[in-house]
Structure 1
Amino acid sequence: MDDVTMTKRKRPVIRFIDLPTDILTAIISRLPIKEAARTSILSSHWKKIWCSHVNLDFVFYLMLPRLGSTSHDPRLSKKMFIARVSQVFEQHSGLSVQKIAIKGRLDNECADHIDRWLHFASATKTKDLTFDFKSWYPREGLYDFPFKLFGAMDSSYLLSMRLSAVSLNPPVDFKAFLNLKRLKLEQTNVTDENMQILILNCNTLEFLGIVDCGKLTRLSTSHLSNQLKHLHVESCHRLEEIELNFGLTKLGYKGTLIPLAPPGPLLLTNVCMKLQRARASLEYIFTNLPSTLPRLETLSLQCSELERAILPKNHIKFMYLKHLRLQLRHPVLERKIDLLDFACLLEAAPLLQKFELHMWMPLHHQRYREEAHGELRSLPPQPHAHLRLVHISGFIGMKDQLELALHILRNSAVLRVMKIDPKPLFALPCISMLGPLEGFQYLDGFEVAMEYLSKEDHRNVVDVSEVCREEVETLSVYELVYPECVVYR
Structure 2
Amino acid sequence: MMLGSSNAAVDHPTSNVTAFIRRANSIMRQLSSATLHKFVVKFPLLRGDADHLDRWVSLSAASRARRIVLDLCPEVEKFGDKNQMYSFPLHLFTGGSCVGGNPCVKSLYLGFVSLNLLPLAAGGSTTTSGFTNLKQLTLHKVSIVGDLQSLLPECAVLEWLSLTYCSLHCHDLIIRQPLEQLRYLRVLQCRLQKLQLQAPNLTEFEFTNQQVPLVLGDCINMSMASVELLLLSDDFDYICTKLPVALPHVRDRLTVGTAIRTEALVLTKAGAVFANLRHLILNVTIHGCPQASTGVLRLAYLLDLAPVLEELELHMYCVSAPGFPRNPRDLDAMATSPPARLHERLRIVHMTGFHGSRGQLELAHRILWSTAALDRLIMIIGPRIKVDYYFRNLTFADTGRLVARRYIQDQFPGTVITVL
Taking structure 1 as the reference length, the TM-score comes to 0.72
Is 2:97 the partner of 1:153?
A: yes
Measure how far apart 1:393 and its partner are: 0.7
Identify which range, 354-363 or 78-87, moves more after superposition.
78-87
Q: Secondary structure of 2:93's match?
A: helix
Q: Is the 8 A contact 1:280 1:309 kept in 2?
A: no
Within the alignment, does 1:58 sit opposite 2:58 as a pair?
no
2:171 maps to 217
Q: Deviations over 1:14-64 (max 9, x none)?
A: xxxxxxxxxxxxxxxxxxxxxxxxxxxxxxxxxxxxxxxxxx4433344x5
Q: Is the 8 A contact 1:231 1:252 kept in 2?
A: yes
Higher relative contact order (CA 8 A, sep 6+): 2
State whether structure 2 residue 319 is matched by structure 1 residue 362. yes
Contact residue 257 and residue 278 of structure 1 kept, 8 A: no
Look up the equivalent residue of 2:113 and give its one-letter code: V
CA distance in 2, matches of 1:280, 1:336: 14
Distance change in 2, residues 1:415/1:364 (3 Å)? same
1:114 corresponds to: 53
Provide the rounded CA distance (Å) in 2 between the counterparts of 1:292 and 1:224.
16
Q: Following TM superposition, by how much is the alpha carbon of 1:94 offset from its aligned partner in structure 2, in angstroms?
A: 8.3
8 A Cα contact 2:181 2:199, kept in partner: no
The yes-or-no answer on 1:464 pairing with 2:409 is no
Q: What runs of 5+ residues in structure 1 fail to find an aligned partner?
A: 1-55, 466-489
CA positional deviation for 1:367: 3.3
Aligned partners of 1:420, 1:94: CA distance in 2, in Å?
64
Partner of 2:360: 401
CA distance in 2, matches of 1:402, 1:181: 49
Count residues in correspondence.
395
Q: Which has the higher helix share?
A: 1
Contact (CA 8 Å) 1:142, 1:165: kept in 2 or not? Answer: yes
The CA deviation at 1:147 is 1.3
Quick one: which of 78, 102, 110 aligns to 2:17?
Answer: 78
| 1:70-128 deviation per Cα after TM superposition (whole angstroms, max 9, x unaligned) | x6322211011122333444556987854333221212222232233334434554332
1:331 aligned to 287, 308, 317, which one? 287
Sort the Cα spacing of 1:417 and 1:173 in 2 relative to 1 into closer, same or farther, 3 A: same
Alignment of 1:168-183 (within 5 A): 168-171=115-118, 172-183=126-137
State the identity %: 28
**Is the 1:376–1:399 contact (alpha carbons within 8 Å) kept by the matching residues of 2?**
no
Asked if structure 2 preserves the Cα contact closer than 8 Å seen for 1:82 and 1:113, the reply is yes
Q: Quick one: distance in 2 between partners of 1:218 and 1:179?
A: 25
SS at match of 2:362: helix
The 1:331/1:404 distance shift into structure 2, 3 A limit, reads closer
Residues 300, 363 of structure 2: 8 Å contact kept: yes
Q: Is the 8 A contact 2:64 2:97 kept in 1?
A: no
Quote the residue 1:311 is aligned against: 267
Distance 1:343 1:73, change over 3 A: closer
Q: Which structure carries more strand by proportion?
A: 2
CA contact (8 A) 1:164 1:186 kept: yes
TM-aligned CA deviation for residue 327 of structure 1: 0.9
User: Structure 2, unaligned stretches of length 5 or more?
Assistant: 119-125
Contact 1:228 1:245 in 2 (8 A): no
The partner residue of 2:143 within 189, 205, 229 is 189
Matching residue's letter, 2:3: F
State yes or no: 1:371 paired with 2:329. Answer: yes
Please give the alpha-carbon distance, in whole angstroms, between the structure 2 residues aligned to 1:117 and 1:371. Answer: 75
Q: For 2:138 and 2:306, how far apart are their aligned partners in 1?
A: 33
Pick closer, same or farther for the CA change 1:394–1:124 going to 2, 3 Å: same
TM-superposed CA distance for 1:292, in Å, is 5.5
SS at match of 1:179: coil
User: CA–CA distance in 2 between the matches of 1:143 and 1:309?
Assistant: 51
CA RMSD of aligned residues (A): 2.9
Which one-letter code corresponds to 1:418 in the other structure?
M
User: Which amino acid counterpart does residue 271 of structure 1 have in structure 2?
Assistant: A
The alignment partner of 1:79 has SS state of: helix
